[in-house]
Structure 1
Amino acid sequence: MTDTKWSVLSSETVVKDRWIDLRAETCVTPSGQEIAPYYVLSYPDWVNIVAITADDEIVLVRQYRHGAADVFTEIPGGAVDAGDPDPVAAAKRELLEETG
């Protein structure tokens, strides 16, 4: 199998804060084509929870999503925080935060 990975010639952070990590890279494909900028979004570890009640019902929450400027029905979830000992603890915390 031939090498299919791109080479990264340069990488520059465009914006990085607690919500987003965006960088612009200059890449070269194995065929030699240069692609610039190629934007890369990195996200923190994330958990989603499928919580099922004693009556076999799935717990859903309504969340406002500003990017879409609307409210959506979805399963609970959220980012794993630095203080979370593991993803299961993060899932429990998120479920409690979003459902009480």
Structure 2
Amino acid sequence: MTMELDREVSLTRDLPEYGLRAGDIATLVDFVSHPNNGEEGCVLEIFNAKRKRNDKSFGESLTEIAVPISAIETLRSDEILAVRTLAKVN
């Protein structure tokens, strides 16, 4: 399945350096080339779970991160959303 910009994706692995876990949802912002011809990457925007009234998008932006493309996947119709507290990064 082709990944489209400005769509929600889920993480396929834990990213403890950002306090994120597999299954967390992010918005795909951009695709980036690896500087040394390695795996293609992508830029993700991480939002909190709060929504504004009558708004279909997620709440406030917390951060943007760059990850390998293999660290994300498109959302499927058999998945549901869940809420957890963002882990603190030391």
* Structure-1-length-normalised TM-score: 0.27
Higher helix fraction (1 or 2): 1
Higher strand fraction (1 or 2): 1
Greater gyration radius: 1
* Structure-2-length-normalised TM-score: 0.29
